[in-house]
C-alpha cells in the first residue's frame, strides 16, 4: 500500500493546466539544490509520478520541457532513461523563483518545525536506544560513508541513517512524521540538498549524532540533530536568497 502524505501548503495540489510547468520548476529547483546531480539518471517516470502525486503524462511533459532547456537528456530504448546534464541554466533563476517564492513563508515554518521535531526524535532515541537499535544505526552510518559520491546510494543511506535513529524512539508516529517532513522540504523528491562539501560535513555529523544516541546522551543528541538538519535549511535559504535577489538587481 502506497503511503500518502498529509496535504501541505508548500505542496498544494497542482492546477491541471499548469501542472507540467510547475513540475518542471520543481525539477530545476531540485537540480539547483543538488538533489539530482549532473550525470545522475533520474528515477523512472512512474516512480517520479508516485513521488509527486501527479500523472505520468504530466511528468513526461515536464521532462520534455527540461530537455528542451538543456537540463536533461532523454534516452529512448530498453536501457534508456533521463540523465541530468546541467545544474544551472539561463532559465534557472525564474524557474526556481516560481517554485519557492509563493510558499516561502510556509516552507520556512516547515523547516523550523522539522528542526524541533528532529531534535525531539534524537533526544527520545537517546533515551530509548537498545543494542539492536545501536547496531542498525551503526550499519546505516557506515553505509553512508561507503556510498561516497554515488548520489543515489548516498540518498538512500542518508534516509536509512535518520530512519534508524527515528526507529530507536520506538514510536511509529515519530518515524512517519520524520518521513512526511522530509517529503515536504525535498519538494516531493525524497532527497536532501547536496554538495560535496555538505556531504563531507554530513559524514562527520552522522557519526557524532549516532554516537550520542547510542551512548544515551539525550541533550547532546538533540543539539547535534539541530546542527545537522540546518544543512538542508541553509542550502534552501541560500538558493532562495540567490534567486530573490535577482529581482532587485
Please indicate, yes or no, whether residues 47 and 62 belong to a single structural domain of this protein. yes
Instruction: With CA atoms as reference, report the closest residue to 178 among 60, 5, 2.
Output: 5
Grid coordinates representing 242 are 540567490
Q: What is the mean pLDDT of residues 56-65?
A: 95
Residue 1 has pLDDT above 80, yes or no: no
Q: Is 143 helix (H, G, I), strand (E, B) or coil?
A: helix
214 located within any domain: yes
Picking from 88, 65, 91, 63, the residue whose alpha carbon sits closest to that of residue 76 is 63
In a domain, 34, yes or no: yes
Residue that is last in its domain, among 69, 99, 129: 99
Q: What is the mean pLDDT of residues 46-63?
A: 95
Report yes or no: 190 and 30 within 8 Å, Cβ to Cβ. Answer: no
Q: How far is 102 from 247, CA to CA, in rounded Å?
A: 14
User: What's the CATH code of the domain at 200?
Assistant: 1.20.120.530
Report the 10 Å Cβ neighbour count for 227. 14
Give the tens place of pLDDT for each residue, 64-107.
999 999 999 998 877 779 999 999 999 999 999 999 999 999 99
Provide the Cα torsion 211, 196, 23, 82; round to 10°: -110
Which of 83, 99, 115 is a domain's end point?
99
Residues 6+ apart with CB under 8 A from 38: 84, 85, 86, 87
Q: Does 220 share its domain with 126?
A: yes
**Would 3 be classed as within a structural domain?**
no
pLDDT digits (tens, 9 = 90+) for 22-31: 999 999 999 9
Tell whether 131 and 91 lie within a shared domain: no
Range of the domain at 88: 9-99
Mean pLDDT score across all residues of the chain: 91
* Domain boundary, last residue among 39, 74, 99: 99
Split at pLDDT 50, 70, 90, the class of 5 is low
Helix (H) or strand (E) holding 160: helix 151-167
The verdict on residue 174 lying in a domain is yes
Same domain, 84 and 189: no
C-alpha cell of residue 111: 523547516
Count how many domains the chain has: 2
Helix (H, G, I), strand (E, B) or coil at 82: strand
Amino acid at each position: 500500500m502506497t503511503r500518502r502524505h498529509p496535504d501541505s501548503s508548500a505542496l498544494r495540489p497542482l492546477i491541471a493546466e499548469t501542472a507540467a510547468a510547475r513540475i518542471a520548476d520543481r525539477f530545476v529547483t531540485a537540480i539547483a539544490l543538488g538533489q539530482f546531480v549532473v550525470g545522475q539518471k533520474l528515477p523512472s517516470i512512474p516512480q517520479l509520478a508516485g513521488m509527486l502525486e501527479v500523472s505520468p503524462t504530466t511528468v513526461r511533459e515536464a521532462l520534455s520541457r527540461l530537455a528542451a532547456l538543456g537540463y536533461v537528456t532523454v534516452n529512448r530504448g530498453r536501457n534508456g532513461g533521463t540523465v541530468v546534464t546541467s545544474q544551472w541554466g539561463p532559465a534557472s533563476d525564474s524557474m526556481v523563483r516560481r517554485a519557492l517564492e509563493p510558499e516561502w513563508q510556509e516552507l520556512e515554518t516547515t523547516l523550523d518545525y522539522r528542526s524541533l521535531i528532529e531534535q525531539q526524535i534524537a533526544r527520545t532515541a537517546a533515551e530509548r536506544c537498545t543494542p539492536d537499535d545501536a547496531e542498525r544505526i551503526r550499519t546505516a552510518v557506515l553505509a553512508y560513508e561507503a556510498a561516497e559520491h554515488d548520489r543515489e546510494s548516498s540518498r538512500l543511506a542518508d534516509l536509512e541513517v535518520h530512519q534508524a535513529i527515528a526507529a530507536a524512539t520506538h514510536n511509529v508516529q515519530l518515524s512517519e512524521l520524520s518521513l512526511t517532513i522530509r517529503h515536504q522540504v525535498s519538494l516531493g523528491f525524497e532527497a536532501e540538498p547536496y554538495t560535496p562539501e555538505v556531504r563531507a560535513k554530513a559524514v562527520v555529523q552522522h557519526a557524532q549524532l549516532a554516537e550520542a544516541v547510542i551512548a544515551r546522551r539525550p541533550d547532546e543528541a538533540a543539539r547535534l540533530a539541530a546542527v545537522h538538519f540546518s544543512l538542508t535549511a541553509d542550502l534552501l535559504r541560500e538558493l532562495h536568497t540567490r534567486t530573490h535577489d535577482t529581482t532587485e538587481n
